[in-house]
Structure 1
Amino acid sequence: MQKWIQRLANLSAIGMFLILAMGALVTKADAGRGCGDEWPLCHGKFVPAHTISSFIEYSHRLVVGIVTLILIATFYLVFRYVKRTDAKVFITATVIMTLVQAVMGAMAVVWPQSSLVLALHFGLSLLAFAFSLLLALVFTPWGQFTRHTSIRTSFKVLVWFTTIYSYVVVYLGAFVRHTVSSGGCSGWPLCNGEVIPELSGATGIVFTHRIAALLLFICILFLFIQARRHYDSSDKLWFGSKWALILVSTQVITGAIVTWAMGNEVAYLLTGMLHAINVACMFGFLCYLCVLTLYDRKA
């Protein structure tokens, strides 16, 4: 039974990753209205006409439905056969976040919502993926969160601050997409050829996101330096911090490429999706570090 639970946990994490990626595609391809104002039907049909926008939107809905069924099965088996409390917490949080984002997605279709609310939809998907990833890790050697050495209090604070702040930066990025503000800054690293542009409208939104992303890079770089200074290279804290730094560096690069790709629809779409997928992986590693701090050995 443990093997089945592990397989379902892995499928849940993969499924949540697909939901997040497909949600980014829906936004980038402007396919959110691909099924009109109807939910769960698409233009009054279970199988809609084969237009690109309706296919993208309906495929996203279909995947959400399938993954939800997998999550329900995983939820039952975890509570029935797994004794670890953390596994129960992770699957419960995944199910809750998935259901909330599904309801929000349906509401966004039937009743158009503000960009502030729509941006939160991606944030919930990110949390659902992070919790599903942690659940999958429970059944691997990396899921043995207990430690034999204590963690410095300052490092714990840095980990949690960086993770929470990264969520804010991700939300700003989603807000940029939903307000269609990406074109507010042409060029990179300069914005419209200026170090500090006029901070109004779309330009102000994009520039704020860029500054926030720069500060996030500095936070994760400092986090890695602290992990390398105080923990062995075989320590999970060092490993997680290293990959968080690698991924935030990649995130900066993909963000620049997204800007350079404007004007080329296909390249812009692909790099935009890569940008969203990369940030999910980075956030997953930061959440993993947060969990490690919760299992610190008591002095």
Structure 2
Amino acid sequence: MLHAVFPQAPAPSTKRPTPRSRIYQLVQQMVIATLLLMAIGSATRVMNAGLACPDWPLCYGQWVPARQMNLQVFLEWFHRLDAALLGVLTIVLAASSWGYRRDLPRWAPWLASLALGLIVVQGALGGLTVTELLRFDIVTAHLGTALLFFVTLLILATVLMPYQAVGTATKLPWLGLTATILVYLQCLLGGLVASRWAAHQCFAGFQLCEVMNSHLLGVFPPTIATLVSVVAAWRTPALHPTLRQAANLALVFLLLQIGIGIATFRLHLQVELLTVTHQAIGALLLGSLTVLTALAWRDVQSQVGSVVPMTPNPVIPRGIATDPALDSLESSPVP
């Protein structure tokens, strides 16, 4: 998704990369690490490995439990390792964003700070999932926070990416935002079904079927909202190619998610790989809609002349009259 939607930063005239391009590349790498983290977390749950390490933050009192290592212990241990590395990268991201804030769009340091706050909450929830023995509400909140962290990184990447707005995406920001929120809520419903093992209990003894059915019926609102957003993108004349790519990716991920969901349901969640893929594609669908919404918002802001210069506060010599309409440009959050 990153290589398809996020273009690489153009090479600067000098050999040394700019702070903006370095931070942009760091965010891209963190997005990939977050996707991997969520996939490993899903595999950990599917393989009943959530309590493979009985203590936290160590595993069997060790940093590397070599003697106890098996597939379940490895999944839980690697999940924690990836989370720890991602936490360190988030600290680096926040520090770099504030250190180079004069070279970045106005919203970038604040988004990096939000990501840091979310990763702290995520770490605390990760510890509680073990100490509270996989309590379903904590496990669901753990997934929800991970998705919010993922979305925050994608918005930050969208803010930093090279993008020449054309000002044609008039309705896409609100349509995309609606679809993004509905897909996020559906992901939470899916996490609730997984954390309560509702599908397995419903298939085995007709218990918690209402939880599973809420997820099944919940497919329709985000599906309709995503299709409306995609069709609106297709019908928008002279739309930026990157926005079209994001809309097309959203459609592809939506169709994949529906197909994999049907297969998973018919197979009664007996194929672990399908279950893990189902959650991963859901995250990718959420991510593509997030990129579509953020880029569309940048595009709409360009209609009112919201162009932020590379130097955020240009110096205007005294005695030169300025147009009051230009003063609004300095307050724009759009890079």
State the TM-score bracket (shorter-chain normalisation): 0.7 to 0.9
- The residue type paired with residue 117 of structure 1 is I
Counterpart selection for 2:265 from 218, 241, 259 = 259
Q: How far apart, in 2, do the equivalents of 1:8 and 1:227 lie?
A: 29
Counterpart selection for 2:113 from 92, 105, 111 = 92
- The residue type paired with residue 208 of structure 1 is S
Helix, strand or coil for the counterpart of 2:219?
helix
Q: Tell whether the 8 Å contact from 1:247 to 1:279 is kept in structure 2 after alignment.
A: yes
Q: How far apart, in 1, do the equivalents of 2:241 and 2:24 lie?
A: 24
Compared CA separation, residues 224 and 5, structure 1 to 2 (3 A): closer
Q: How far apart, in 2, do the equivalents of 1:9 and 1:156 lie?
A: 23
Q: Tell whether the 8 Å contact from 2:128 to 2:138 is kept in structure 1 after alignment.
A: no
Quote the residue 2:39 is aligned against: 21
The one-character-per-residue Cα deviations of 1:85-105 (angstroms, maximum 9, x if unpaired) are 232233222222221111111
Quote the residue 1:40 is aligned against: 57
Q: How far apart, in 1, do the equivalents of 2:85 and 2:141 lie?
A: 22
Counterpart selection for 1:288 from 288, 291, 303 = 291
- Give the drift of 1:279: 1.1
Task: Point out the more displaced range, 14-23 or 105-114.
Answer: 105-114
Q: How far apart, in 2, do the equivalents of 1:69 and 1:76 lie?
A: 11
Bigger share in helix: 1
5+ residue gaps, structure 1 = 187-191, 193-199
CA-based RMSD: 2.5
Q: Percent identity?
A: 23
- Give the drift of 1:250: 0.6
Q: Does 1:213 align with 2:219?
A: yes
- The residue type paired with residue 257 of structure 1 is A
5+ residue gaps, structure 2 = 1-17, 305-335
Quote the residue 1:167 is aligned against: 184
Quote the residue 2:148 is aligned against: 127
- Give the drift of 1:238: 3.4
Q: How far apart, in 2, do the equivalents of 1:163 and 1:16 lie?
A: 18
Q: Tell whether the 8 Å contact from 1:217 to 1:245 is kept in structure 2 after alignment.
A: no
The one-character-per-residue Cα deviations of 1:71-116 (angstroms, maximum 9, x if unpaired) are 2112212221242123223322222222111111101211236423
- Give the drift of 1:6: 3.5
Compared CA separation, residues 152 and 83, structure 1 to 2 (3 A): closer
Q: How far apart, in 2, do the equivalents of 1:245 and 1:286 lie?
A: 10
- The residue type paired with residue 254 of structure 1 is I
Q: Which aligned pairs between 1:71-86 and structure 2 lie closer than 5 A?
A: 71-81=90-100, 82-86=103-107
Q: How far apart, in 1, do the equivalents of 2:157 and 2:251 lie?
A: 22
- The residue type paired with residue 171 of structure 1 is L
TM-score if structure 2 supplies the norm length?
A: 0.75
Quote the residue 1:195 is aligned against: none
Q: Which aligned pairs between 1:46-85 and structure 2 lie closer than 5 A?
A: 46-48=63-65, 49-81=68-100, 82-85=103-106
Quote the residue 1:147 is aligned against: 165
Q: How far apart, in 2, do the equivalents of 1:83 and 1:73 lie?
A: 15
Q: How far apart, in 2, do the equivalents of 1:28 and 1:164 lie?
A: 26
- The residue type paired with residue 207 of structure 2 is G
Q: How far apart, in 1, do the equivalents of 2:212 and 2:36 lie?
A: 26
Quote the residue 2:309 is aligned against: none
- Give the drift of 1:263: 7.0
- Give the drift of 1:255: 1.0
Helix, strand or coil for the counterpart of 2:58?
coil
Q: Tell whether the 8 Å contact from 2:190 to 2:215 is kept in structure 1 after alignment.
A: yes
Quote the residue 2:250 is aligned against: 244
Helix, strand or coil for the counterpart of 2:208?
helix
Q: How far apart, in 2, do the equivalents of 1:230 and 1:139 lie?
A: 24
Q: Does 1:12 align with 2:15?
A: no
Quote the residue 2:122 is aligned against: 101
Quote the residue 2:322 is aligned against: none
TM-score if structure 1 supplies the norm length?
A: 0.84
Quote the residue 2:281 is aligned against: 278
- Give the drift of 1:150: 5.0
Compared CA separation, residues 160 and 80, structure 1 to 2 (3 A): same
Compared CA separation, residues 182 and 114, structure 1 to 2 (3 A): same
Displaced runs of 4+ in structure 1, greater than 6 A?
Answer: none
Q: How far apart, in 2, do the equivalents of 1:162 and 1:136 lie?
A: 20
Q: How far apart, in 1, do the equivalents of 2:202 and 2:261 lie?
A: 12
